[in-house]
């Protein structure tokens, strides 16, 4: 299962490498949102000899702990810049470093705390099995030109999309509708239980066309909750 998802990530990365080098998915068909604890993570990287910005999304579970997708970051790349505004900012003064990873989930520690009155909430064990739709938030592509070139990167938007039958991926991933849904730049972004601040999964991969389906790694499994809970209380 993991190899299948990694192959998807490689395909989507190749599509976006020359623009805002993005390793997997954005919210197409979304509308602007102001969720204060959802942010963009931007890192200058070199892929295939070409420099570009890796854009991914993520969310705070405490003042200094930012959850995102592990595949987004190159340990040899430039500093990771974090912003929580309406637009992604590759020059944002707030930076972060990768503290720990589990499969495709990474926790970044911010260079300084971001104090808010609320943060994203971790789910109860197994909550995703009873969820029929999720609210996806991210900074990725808002659409494509007629020639399928991504446009409008880096705006914080959200969309509600149905949870589909996950088949043999259901123990790790949610299978979601992707149009509307996730696309380039949304990797690591939260998948909320619709109408709530509770995150059941993070955007992880999908088809390079950003249509059909996408996959989000569940965070309501025993291993992932055990991994994330200490960071949520830090």
For the chain, list the domains and their CATH numbers: 1-234 (2.40.10.120)
Task: Report pLDDT for 182.
Answer: 73
Token pair belonging to 212: 């059909």
Write down the pLDDT at residue 140: 80
Q: Structure pTM? A: 0.84
Instruction: Evaluate whether 113 touches 64 at the Cβ level (below 8 Å).
Output: yes
Residue 54 CA to chain centroid, in angstroms?
12
Give the pLDDT of residue 234: 59
Residue from 8, 1, 13, 31 nearest 156 by CA:
31
CA–CA dist 198, 122 (Å, integer)? 6
Give the pLDDT score at 190.
96
φ, ψ dihedrals at 23, nearest 5°: -80, -15
| pLDDT of res. 65 | 98
User: For 188, left (φ over 0), alpha (ψ -120 to 50), or beta?
Assistant: left
Torsion of CA 120, 124, 127, 133, to 10 degrees: -20
Q: What stretch of H or E contains 203? A: strand 199-206
pLDDT at 49: 80
Taking CA 98 as the corner, what is the angle to CA 95 and CA 103, rounded to the nearest 5 degrees? Answer: 140
The low-confidence residues of the chain, meaning pLDDT below 70, are 1-29, 142-153, 165-170, 207-209, 211, 234
């Amino acid at each position: 299962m993991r190899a299948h998802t990694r192959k998807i990530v490689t395909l989507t990365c190749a599509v976006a490498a020359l623009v805002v080098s993005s390793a997997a998915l954005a919210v197409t068909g979304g509308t602007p949102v102001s969720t204060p604890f959802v942010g963009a993570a931007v890192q200058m990287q070199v892929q295939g000899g070409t420099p570009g910005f890796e854009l991914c999304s993520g969310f705070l579970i405490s003042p200094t702990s930012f959850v995102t997708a592990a595949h987004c970051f190159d340990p040899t790349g430039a500093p990771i810049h974090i912003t929580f505004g309406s637009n992604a900012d590759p020059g944002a003064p707030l930076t972060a470093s990768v503290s720990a990873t589990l499969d495709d989930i990474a926790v970044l520690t911010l260079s300084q705390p971001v104090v808010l009155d609320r943060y994203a909430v971790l789910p109860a064990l197994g909550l995703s099995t009873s969820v029929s739709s999720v609210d996806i938030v991210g900074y990725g592509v808002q659409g494509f030109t007629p020639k399928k070139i991504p446009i409008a990167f880096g705006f914080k938007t959200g969309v509600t999309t149905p949870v589909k039958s996950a088949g043999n991926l259901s123990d790790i991933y949610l299978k979601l509708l992707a149009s509307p849904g996730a696309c380039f730049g949304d990797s690591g972004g939260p998948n909320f239980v619709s109408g709530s601040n509770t995150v059941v999964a993070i955007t992880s991969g999908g088809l390079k066309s950003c249509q059909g389906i996408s996959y989000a790694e569940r965070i309501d499994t025993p291993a992932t909750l055990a991994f994330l809970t200490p960071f949520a209380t830090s």
